[in-house]
Amino acid sequence: MCRWAAYTGAPIFVEEIVSRPGHSLIHQSHCATECLSAINADGFGLAWYGEREEPGLYRDVMPAWSDPNLRSLVAQVKSRLFLAHVRASTGTATSRNNCHPFAVGRWTFMHNGQVGGYDAFRRDAEMLIPDALYPQRKGATDSEALFLTALGEGLAADPRGALERAVAKFEALSRQKGDAPHIRLTAALSDGVRLYAVRYATDDQAPSLYHRWSPTRAGRAVVSEPLESGECWEQVPQGSFCTFDAEAVEIVPFCPAALAVAA
C-alpha cells in the first residue's frame, strides 16, 4: 500500500512535511511502519496550491528517496495547501500517469488502498466515468477511475456524498465480480480551499490515517503515519469523512456500504 501526507494552514515550505521530519514522507517511501510493505518505490507525486486556482503538479516514476529534484523543489516551494504521495503499485504499471495525486481543474485527489479484484471489472469501472470527464483518464489505476467517477457524481457540490456514491459503485462491482477485501481506502482530496480526507474499509483493516494541528505552524498535517515520535497525533476513526478548514475539523460518518448493497 502507498503512503501519503497532506497539509492545510498558514503557508510553509513543503519540506516541513515531505523531507525534514524524522519519519517524513520520503522516509516512509523506504521505511514505512504501518503497512504491509515498508517500501513504496513505484513513483511519487506532489500537488500544491499557490496564487492560482489550479494546483501545481510534479510526478515521476523514480523512488522518492532517489530524486534530488524533489528535495530541491520542496525546499523552495511554499504552500498553504498541498498533497504528497509515495506509491506502491497494486498491479498497474509504474508510469507517470499512474502516480498520484491526480488533478482535474482545481480538484486534486490521492488514494491509498485497494479495490478487490479490480482487473475483473475494469471495463465496468471505466463505464462509470462520464463522457465529459473521460478525456481526463490518463492512466490505468483504480484510484484515478474512482476520482473521475466521484467528479461525475458531483464532487464540487457535495464532496462527501459524491465520494460515498462513487465508492459504493466500486464496492458493488467488487462484490459482484471481484474479490474480498472489496474496499480498503484512505484518500485525500481538495478544491484548493478545504482539505478533505476519508478512511473506510469493507472489513476492519482500513489503512492508517492521522491528523495533527501545529500551533507553531498554524497548520494541520493529515498523514498515513505520524511524522515524528513523541508527538500527539489523532487517529481518524474507520468509516469517517473529514473536512479540514484551517483549525476547524469536522468528522462525519462515511457509509457507502448501504448504497453498495442497494446497487
Burial of residue 219 (CB within 10 Å: 0-12, 13-18, 19+) is buried
- Residue 202 has a pLDDT of 97
- Residue 219 has a pLDDT of 98
State the average pLDDT over residues 86-94. 81
Specify whether the CB–CB gap between 188 and 4 falls below 8 A. Answer: yes
pLDDT score of 107 more than 90: yes
Whole-model pTM: value is 0.96
DSSP state of 237: P
Give the residue ranges of DSSP H helices in 25-121: 25-31, 68-76
Residue ranges making up the domain that contains 140: 3-262
State the average pLDDT over residues 2-6. 95
- Residue 223 has a pLDDT of 97
Higher pLDDT, 259 or 228: 228
CATH of the domain at 136: 3.60.20.10
State the average pLDDT over residues 173-179. 97
What is the CA angle 154-89-151, rounded to 5?
5
Q: Within 13 Å of residue 218, how many CA atoms lie on the same side as its CB? A: 5
Q: What domain count does the chain have?
A: 1
- Residue 39 has a pLDDT of 84
In the chain, the largest separation of any two C-alpha atoms, in whole Å, equals 49
| Residue 103 grid cell | 488533478
DSSP state of 205: -
| Residue 160 grid cell | 462527501
Higher pLDDT, 33 or 50: 50
Using pLDDT thresholds of 50, 70 and 90, give the confidence band for residue 261: low
pLDDT score of 186 more than 90: yes
Cα 123 to Cα 120, 131, 142: the distances in Å are: 8, 14, 11
Percentage of the residues of the chain whose pLDDT score is greater than 90 = 87
How far, in Å, CA of 162 to CA of 97, rounded? Answer: 23
pLDDT score of 262 more than 90: no
Using pLDDT thresholds of 50, 70 and 90, give the confidence band for residue 93: confident
177-181 — which CB contacts under 8 Å span 24+ positions?
177/117, 177/120, 177/121, 177/124, 178/115, 178/116, 178/117, 178/118, 178/120, 178/121, 179/116, 179/117, 179/120, 180/116, 181/114, 181/116, 181/205
Chain-wide mean pLDDT for the chain? Answer: 94
- Residue 24 has a pLDDT of 93
State the average pLDDT over residues 209-236. 96
- Residue 89 has a pLDDT of 79
- As a whole number of Å, the CA-based R_g of the chain is 17
Specify whether the CB–CB gap between 49 and 37 falls below 8 A. Answer: no
Can you say whether the dihedral through the CA atoms of 67, 68, 71, 72 is positive or negative? negative
pLDDT score of 130 more than 80: yes
